[in-house]
Amino acid sequence: MSDFNDFGNPQVAALPRHLKQFIVSQHYEHYTPVDHAVWRYVMRQNYSYLKDVAYYPYIPGLQKAGLTIEKIPDLQDMNNALAKIGWGAVTVDGFIPPAAFMEYQAYRVLVIAADIRQLKHIEYTPAPDIIHESAGHAPIIADKDYHEYLSYFGSIGAKAMFSAQDFELYEAIRALSILKEMPDADMAEIKKAEELVAWHQDNMGEPSEMALLSRLHWWTVEYGLIGSLADPKIYGAGLLSSIGESASCMMEGVQKLPYTIDAVNYSYDITKTQPQLFVTPTFQNLIDVLEQFADTMSFRRGGAYGLQKAIDSKNTCTAVYSSGLQVSGTFIEFRADKNGEPVFIKTTGETALAVNNKQLKGHGKSYHQDGFSSPVGKLKGYEKPLEDFTADDLINAGMETGKEINLVFESGITVSGKVVEIAVQSNKIGLIKVEKCTVLGEKGRVLFDPSWGVYDMAVGEKITSVFCGAADKDAFLEIAYQSTTGTHHPEYDSKTIELHKLYQQVRNRRHIGGDMGFLGNVWMMLQKFHHDDWLCALEILELLDHEAAEPELAAEIRRFLEQKAAEEPEYKKLISDGLYLIKHPVEEKLVV
């Protein structure tokens, strides 16, 4: 990525290549005056309400994250501020795959959708937008216990097994969220997209580790409450960035449950308000529950359980031998002994070998392009695992470079041929290269034939871990799954551009001052050409009221807004809340 901008932020600069592919430029100049007004309206409402119901660091957290109420944040400003607490931020194009999202968190980088919701979706949008991502996620990052949880969650999520169904659901949700944000979306198309999401949600089969982990993420990072069941506070970004749901979630109709591992049994629908929410007493409890879940995952369990998950995934996965050798590829087979312990593994297609997440020289995808297979376990007649053999042990066993060997494993698998090389990493034998090699299964089945080339035998008594993705992602050049559905970027007609200019004129008066009587001209243009607008009218009224100017004009605009609220139910709460804030303005210190 030659034009990659790290904003001078160490966390962003440290991102690996496979994550940089999702980053897009923010293009700050594309935000319109209406976009800034939407940001300002939501932030003022949030501040007014959340100062009483948000977990305490939220308001100071705004400033620590480089955010203001007045304008959409610039990524450079955010990175300058976040760097002080060891975090960074980048902009992406809408929803990105869950595995990638998680891994960004592990690198302590916030992923922020560059777009902002439309005025008609000002209360809530199913699509990720800059209000949700920055005003929701960023302020709470200032809390040390919470950001430790967030990055730890990311490191565990990056290893979670995912399925083909997960990708299909992700694609369906992304398509629906994009459709709902389009100005002239066809209702029939939206209904069809909603039905597709519902179908995928109902036909996921057994949920994958990623699906279950996503539930824990949803009920904590996105929709979490903290404190007691009787008096919880909001810390979840989905609630902190929704002026509708941040209020409705506190009502009695929304059930409050203690946050435990049981939360993995509750699926969620991103298009609807939540029927129940989970309350954690502390952020430490979030880590405790995460630990409990992580203990059930393939990367900790390894063995036959993990290998079967890898086969079911049909994606690039990594199996780790007890010697430390990591085999990354698409797993298609493993064999187990009577105790269920793996004795043989096999991949198909491009495979790579690594140690400590660094690819071994000469063992990349091009070398192992047709797959990889190897025994697992101990040699027959030896108490000590082969990986722990000393130089003397090797000599005594007749395993030396240039010598013929005939290894018999406890499983019955035999490996015979001439030793070319014995590779030792961190005092463990991890790989033995054998030429003119024959590998036979327990019933004489040919597992490797000398005509197939040189045989690389992995060494290790057990498979200690299995996780999704390659061990050395950058060397593997792993292009994570990317959507073919692009987000919608509006093109504005001349009438809309004129409306933008009216919003800008109001904004200029608020920032620079000047003759408030001029706002009468803006009001006249709104009435003549943009009669459906309410937000610009509200901003004019706010200015006039604040300056105690043009009382007749102010009274006329107030009557218009009150009438609109009474006649058009969809605007009632938005206008009423806006009028309330004119009487009860937010603290000026947070505006600039």
Asked if 85 and 64 touch (Cβ cutoff 8 Å), the reply is yes
pLDDT at residue 58 above 90?
no
pLDDT at residue 588 above 50?
no
Tokens in use for 579? 């009028």
The enclosing H or E element of 458 equals strand 455-458
Q: Which residues are annotated as a binding site for Fe cation?
A: 132, 137, 222
Q: Which residues are annotated as a binding site?
A: 132, 137, 222
State residue 318 phi and psi, 5-degree precision. -125, 130
Distance CA 22, CA 394 (A): 48
Residue 354 domain-assigned (yes or no): yes
Q: How many domains does the chain have?
A: 3
The arithmetic mean of pLDDT across residues 237-261, rounded, is 88
Residue 162 domain-assigned (yes or no): yes
Parallel, antiparallel, or unpaired: how do β-strands 255-258 and 232-234 relate? unpaired
CB environment 553-578: b (16+ within 10 A), e (fewer)? bbebbbebbeebbeeeeebeebbebb
Residue 106 domain-assigned (yes or no): yes
Which of 269, 291, 313 terminates a domain? The answer is: 291
pLDDT of residue 545: 95
Which of 449, 476, 503 terminates a domain? The answer is: 476
Tokens in use for 274? 């939540």
Residue 134 domain-assigned (yes or no): yes
Distance CA 33, CA 485 (A): 27
Which of 476, 509, 543 terminates a domain? The answer is: 476
Across 36-50, 196-210, 368-382, the highest mean pLDDT is recorded for 368-382
pLDDT tens for each residue of 286-344: 999 999 999 999 999 999 999 999 998 888 999 999 999 999 999 999 999 999 999 99
Distance CA 38, CA 46 (A): 12
The arithmetic mean of pLDDT across residues 274-281, rounded, is 96
Task: Mark whether 143 and 212 lie in a shared domain.
Answer: yes
Any residues with CB less than 8 A from the CB of 100 and at least 6 apart, and which?
19, 22, 480
Residue 152 domain-assigned (yes or no): yes
pLDDT at residue 362 above 80?
yes
Reduced 3-state DSSP string for 480-511: CCCCCCCCCCCCCCHHHHHHHHHHHHHHHHHH
Q: Which pLDDT band holds residue 592 (cuts at 50, 70, 90)?
A: very low
Residue 397 domain-assigned (yes or no): yes
The arithmetic mean of pLDDT across residues 65-92, rounded, is 94
- Paired with 346 in beta bridges are 333, 373
State residue 361 phi and psi, 5-degree precision. -60, 130
The arithmetic mean of pLDDT across residues 33-55, rounded, is 90
Q: Which pLDDT band holds residue 589 (cuts at 50, 70, 90)?
A: very low
Residue 481 domain-assigned (yes or no): no
Q: Which pLDDT band holds residue 126 (cuts at 50, 70, 90)?
A: low
pLDDT at residue 178 above 80?
no
CB environment 2-19: b (16+ within 10 A), e (fewer)? eeebbbebebbeebeebb
Mean pLDDT check: name the lowest of 28-42, 119-133, 553-567: 119-133
pLDDT of residue 157: 93
Asked if 106 and 32 touch (Cβ cutoff 8 Å), the reply is no
Distance CA 170, CA 195 (A): 14
pLDDT tens for each residue of 388-431: 999 999 999 999 999 999 999 999 999 999 999 999 998 999 99
Q: How many CA atoms lie within 13 A of 94 on its CB side?
A: 22
Q: What is the DSSP letter of 126?
A: S
- Domain with 560, as residue range(s), is 494-590
Task: Mark whether 521 and 377 lie in a shared domain.
Answer: no
State residue 379 phi and psi, 5-degree precision. -75, 145
Average pLDDT over the chain reads 90
pLDDT of residue 403: 96
Task: Mark whether 429 and 549 lie in a shared domain.
Answer: no
Task: Mark whether 416 and 469 lie in a shared domain.
Answer: yes
Residue 3 domain-assigned (yes or no): no
58 vs 150 pLDDT, higher one: 150
Distance CA 246, CA 388 (A): 57
